Amino acid sequence: MTTPHHPPSSPTRPHQAMGAGGEFDTIRMLMSRWGDLAADIGDDAAVLSPITSGVRVVSTDACVEGVHFRREWIAPYDVGVRAAAAALSDLAAMGAAAEYVLVAFVVPDGWRTALGAVADGIGAQVRRAGARIVGGNLSRGAAFGITLTVIGTAARAVSRAGAQVGDVVVVTGLLGGPGAALAAWESGVEPTGWAHERFVHPSPRLAEGALLAAAGASAMLDISDGLAADARHIAAASGVDLVIDDTRLPLGEGITAQNALRSGEEYELLATMAPSAYEALACAWPAGGVSLTVIGVVGPIGAAHRSGQGAVSPGHDHFRENS
């Protein structure tokens, strides 16, 4: 399953002329790397056309060296790929199509020569998503960081708050690769090919999210904190419990169920939907692409505890000690 490769209708305004200086030279370098992906660059703000139907969906995501990656683990190009994937995945989680991206960089002196490669990685993801880059910001700082704001549209935006008792719980793709790669690096060894690829080149499930939304998904999010933790996020927002059957988890090669439950930054989609809606979607789901697997059911509050769940990792939390 692929996402669109054509950019949305671009803003009508051309790029703004910029004067001399190191900051403007860097912006011009970024524009040259992004080519036709960049539109309306150089003014204080981007000007976007109004939409005629559906809703706008907007999200912001940050990627910081030493928090989300270590430079010795992945190449600058891969840093850009991962940062853009994480941001675009938030649109996928709402069932939205990507339209526009804004990119803000904090660049220490030691990263200036690598910035072009980072931009190439961002551009590769933005092009696959069918979006355009319409602005951003540049700053010097002590730690390298990228903050991306993504803007999309959806005919029907799916929140975390709609799961109903009796719904089935489904997940896209295979789980556990990013967690396995992280564990390998932290143990001083190189990850295996599949786990390494899943960490450095995640794919936001934009097409899959749109299909799930159109099929009537009642709640949905992308797996960033780990399946167990993100299932609890849907449960809390919806006032239910998600009862996960770990024997049904779609595991990558060499991955255990417990590791799959903990593995974060998957950027697969976790959704709930009525059984009849799932049956109809399963018949139409594209064969040979990203898998869609039923892994549990939605029950009333307390159902997960009664089923024996609860002894799994709480998942990633930026503000929990030792997270």
Numbered residues of the known binding site: 44, 59-61, 68, 90, 136-137, 160, 222, 224-225, 265
Task: Label residue 15 left, alpha or beta by phi (over 0 means left) and psi (-120 to 50 means alpha).
Answer: beta
- Binding-site positions for ATP read 136-137, 160, 224
Binding residues for Mg(2+): 44, 59-61, 90, 137, 222, 225
> Which amino acid belongs to residue 36?
D
The rounded distance, in Å, linking the Cα atoms of 122 and 284 is 31
Q: How many other C-beta atoms can be found within 10 angstroms of the C-beta atom of residue 72?
A: 6
Burial class of residue 294 in the structure, from the number of CB atoms within 10 Å of its CB (0-12 exposed, 13-18 middle, 19+ buried): middle
Nearest to 125 by CA among 166, 78, 171: 78
For residue 105, list its beta bridge partners.
138, 146
**Distance in angstroms (rounded) separating the CA atoms of residues 224 and 86:** 8
Phi-psi region of 216 (alpha: psi -120 to 50; beta: other; left: phi over 0): left
Specify the pairing of strand 168-172 against strand 241-244: unpaired
Q: Vertex 185, ends 181 and 186: CA angle to 5°?
A: 115
Reading the block at residue 275, the tokens are 């059984």
**Residues annotated in a binding site for substrate:** 68, 265
